Amino acid sequence: MKGVAYAAGTVLNALATGIGSAFGIDLRTVVEIKPDEGSEVRVVINGVERRSMVAERILRAEKISGEVTVESEIPGGSGLGSSSAFVNALLVAVKKLKGEVLNAHEILKTNARISLEAGISYTGAFDDASASLIGGFVVSDNTKMRLYRWDRISSHAAVLIPHFKRGKVNWREIRSNSARILPAVKDAMNGDYCSAMRKNTEYYCEMIGYPLEIARAGWEIGVCCGLSGNGPSFVAFGSKSEMKSVANVWKNYGEVRIRRVVEKPVEKFIVPESIFIKT
């Protein structure tokens, strides 16, 4: 039984305030469960067998054993929601295997709780998980595990996977200066994703130590772009021609991929009203 989820590009990192915003990108993680009658859980990721405490925990809680095969286009530790996508796809595969209803809010809450308990995320990454599962642009309250906004915007995305590695994240310092990011929160809540992305990037590049020149190169040609998650990846969204333009200015910094922005859920989920915060 298979489950699929997408990458997530960041508009607003939730680490400072608990309010986050992200959008789905068509880089896929596919998880297939092949159950057997044994007691072991084996995990093979992109052809390599690896230990996954998260997969073991989820499957054993559901009394499922067997092999979990993962094929992912999302680089791990890149700021593109690879962990959120993996857990989403695994939870979807489990629910399909058991013949259960695919309730998006229940899946996302389970994902966030597992991410917090396993130490995968500082915030539970409800924003990344939501964009990964149901697509579109989302704005979330990660502490409440609910959404303020879910906007479907037809566009393309560019993803820069740079040569350099992730910087050191001092979450205490990031949170202690959270007042500086509040204008970006306001922009995201108003659906001004381009402005929120720029302000978010200025803040987090300074806090973590990434070169702001990468984002500036996109801003100078009029493209909405910025740092994704805690980095090191950068993302952009807009028309396909805009993404080709930003790819041209980013190509010296690393690998650039152009994909579409995901506009709808990967599966036929129930997206209940309970997932939304009424304002």
Q: 275: Cβ–Cβ under 8 A, 6 or more apart, which residues?
A: 104, 105, 108, 146, 147
pLDDT of residue 37: 84
Residues 182-193 have pLDDT tens digits of 999 999 999 999
> Which residues are bridge partners to 237 per DSSP?
157, 224
pLDDT of residue 44: 96
The answer to the question of residue 207 being in a domain is yes
pLDDT of residue 246: 98
Domain shared by 170 and 74, yes or no: no
pLDDT of residue 235: 98
Distance from C-alpha of 55 to C-alpha of 45, rounded to nearest angstrom: 11
Domain count across the chain: 2
Distance from C-alpha of 147 to C-alpha of 157, rounded to nearest angstrom: 22
Tell me which amino acid residue 38 is.
Answer: G
List the chain residues with pLDDT less than 70: 279
Listed residues 129, 152, 175: the one ending a domain: 152
The answer to the question of residue 270 being in a domain is no
Could you tell me the CATH number of the domain that includes residue 184? 3.30.70.890
Listed residues 118, 152, 186: the one ending a domain: 152
- Residue range(s) defining the domain that contains residue 95: 2-152
The answer to the question of residue 266 being in a domain is no
pLDDT of residue 182: 98
Domain shared by 42 and 97, yes or no: yes
Listed residues 97, 118, 152: the one ending a domain: 152
The answer to the question of residue 267 being in a domain is no
User: Strands 224-227 and 41-45: what pairing?
Assistant: unpaired
Domain shared by 17 and 55, yes or no: yes
Residues 39-72 have pLDDT tens digits of 889 999 999 999 999 999 999 999 999 999 999 9
Domain shared by 46 and 165, yes or no: no
Distance from C-alpha of 13 to C-alpha of 17, rounded to nearest angstrom: 8
Domain shared by 7 and 136, yes or no: yes
Q: Is 229 left (phi over 0), alpha (psi -120 to 50) or beta?
A: left
